[in-house]
Structure 1
Amino acid sequence: MERGMRVGILYSGGKDSNITMYKVYLQGYEIACLITIIPASDESMLFHYPNAAYTSIQAECLQLPLISSTSDGEASLEELLIKARERFGIDGVVSGAIASRYQYERFTSIASRVGLKHIAPCYGEDQYMHMQELLANNFSVMITSVSAYGLDASMLGRVIDAKLLSRLRDLSIKYGFNLSFEGGEAETFVLDMPLFRKRISVDGYRVHWDGVRGHIEFMDLSIKDKLVTLSSR
């Protein structure tokens, strides 16, 4: 670990990019910016789709600069990483890869091509422990899409708590899906976490369900004050 290294966070707005950011913060890295690729479709194997367009609201809560682009290609990510390196002086890029060797190796390769170090503090973690860590650190994580057998429309819009996590664990064992959702079984959106200076309130959303999979469409989001925040980043 290179304490004090300036890094950019590959940021989708979901639980993995947020817990990853929190981990590198605790490890002493200097978080310089957020980097978001908004996929052109939901078929991307590298980038998360459903609510990436709302990362600007999370960036406001984090009080961090955000650079973004709409694309599915690695070339666009390379361009963003170069821009982040030149604009913010980053030496490394942080991803939320957990169990996917494909994601880990692709991000490592892309970062290397533009002269950056790839950091993935969650890679190889036990998936259940990873999910428990979110709860232990007071992350507010909403499920925004589901697309795996065993997950139905009742999950959409729910904030993960201990009871729901236990249910998800049982379902993942029964139906064989990835508990941390890294295979796209579900997507999440973080409403609050320790590094947020303010929190996000979901004041309205619409459910889209086709009988097999679905997602929520945010209709009204607002930013609220927090009673307790970390005093410095």
Structure 2
Amino acid sequence: MNKRIALSWSGGKDCCMALDTLISQGFEVVSLVTTVPKELGRTFGHGERTEMIKLQGEALSIPVHFIECTYENYTNQFVKAVQILKNQFNITGIAYGDLYLDEHRDWGEKVASAAGIDALYPLWMKKEEALQSLERFVHSGYEAIVIRVREDVLDDTWLGRIIDKSFLDDVQETSICPMGESGEYHTFVYDGPLFTKRIQLENGELIQLETTKKLEFKNFQLIE
């Protein structure tokens, strides 16, 4: 069976754990797929700059395929891009890091079906299992930092926090999903078992993005 696949990639902990899981299951992830809106010039997922995503791809030795789209043609452009990857890399599936939101899974499965490939959800779980999932990440060896928070649920003191035991303890004192599945917070993974190089982040600056706040790093580079 051909196990060459693409992975929808935001740069955060969920897609990173999906990557780790897929590789442990024998899949070959040949491309990371990231959507970039023409209107903003940042990724749709986390509002991250494309340079940061490129660094992750380089550190993981997996090429990144950016899908340029608008809010109006998002799905159509995604399907077209996946079809191109299917022809170019002979992929048979696309994987997503979603955990339990049915509407996200429905969309991903429709996109895959339209492109003539399979949809994979290696992290799929019950909502009640989210805390265990976060605990697994904390002990996975991957290192991630909180780069964006939703203002209505978390204040900016959460920005810049590392996803560690302290974070695990503190997030349980809030009312949010421990994994931030509804966008309560977003992360950026900068090192871990599959990384050949570490991404060094320096000089973080707080910026406002609509209803969220983000930590923007002025300096970033790959180090051995």
Q: TM-score of the superposition, structure 1-length normalised?
A: 0.86
- Quickly say closer, same or farther: Cα 1:69–1:36, change in 2 above 3 A: same
Whole-angstrom distance in 1 between the partners of 2:160 and 2:37: 21
Q: Which amino acid aligns with 1:49?
A: H
The residue number in structure 2 matching 1:50 is 47
Equivalent residues of 1:152, 1:213 under 8 A apart: no
Whole-angstrom distance in 2 between the partners of 1:182 and 1:48: 12
Equivalent residues of 1:37, 1:52 under 8 A apart: no
| RMSD between superposed Cα atoms in Å | 2.1
Superposed counterparts of 1:65-214, under 5 Å: 65-71=63-69, 72=71, 73-125=74-126, 126-172=129-175, 177-209=176-208, 213-214=212-213
Equivalent residues of 2:151, 2:213 under 8 A apart: no
Whole-angstrom distance in 1 between the partners of 2:30 and 2:59: 15
- Quickly say closer, same or farther: Cα 1:151–1:131, change in 2 above 3 A: same
1:34 paired to 2:32: yes
What's the secondary structure of 2:65's corresponding residue?
strand
Q: Which amino acid aligns with 2:207?
A: H
Equivalent residues of 1:12, 1:52 under 8 A apart: no
Alpha-carbon displacement from aligned partner over 1:178-199 (angstroms, at most 9, x marks no partner):
2211211111111112111111
Equivalent residues of 2:153, 2:184 under 8 A apart: no
Equivalent residues of 1:13, 1:52 under 8 A apart: no
Alpha-carbon displacement from aligned partner over 1:71-126 (angstroms, at most 9, x marks no partner):
23111111211121111111010100102111111001100111110000111251
Whole-angstrom distance in 1 between the partners of 2:151 and 2:63: 34
Equivalent residues of 1:14, 1:188 under 8 A apart: yes
Moved over 6 A (4+): none
Whole-angstrom distance in 1 between the partners of 2:205 and 2:181: 24
Shift of 1:70: 2.8
Whole-angstrom distance in 2 between the partners of 1:57 and 1:76: 24
- Quickly say closer, same or farther: Cα 1:40–1:167, change in 2 above 3 A: farther
Shift of 1:38: 2.0
The residue number in structure 2 matching 1:229 is none
The residue number in structure 2 matching 1:5 is 3
- Quickly say closer, same or farther: Cα 1:52–1:193, change in 2 above 3 A: farther
Q: Which amino acid aligns with 1:135?
A: V
Equivalent residues of 1:8, 1:94 under 8 A apart: yes
Picking from 57, 60, 67, the partner of 2:58 is 60
Shift of 1:39: 3.8
The residue number in structure 2 matching 1:219 is 218
Equivalent residues of 2:190, 2:199 under 8 A apart: yes
Q: Which amino acid aligns with 1:62?
A: L
State the identity as a percent: 23
Q: State the aligned residue count.
A: 216
Equivalent residues of 1:92, 1:116 under 8 A apart: yes
Shift of 1:5: 0.7
Equivalent residues of 2:145, 2:187 under 8 A apart: yes
What's the secondary structure of 1:200's corresponding residue?
strand
Shift of 1:56: 0.7
Equivalent residues of 1:38, 1:49 under 8 A apart: no
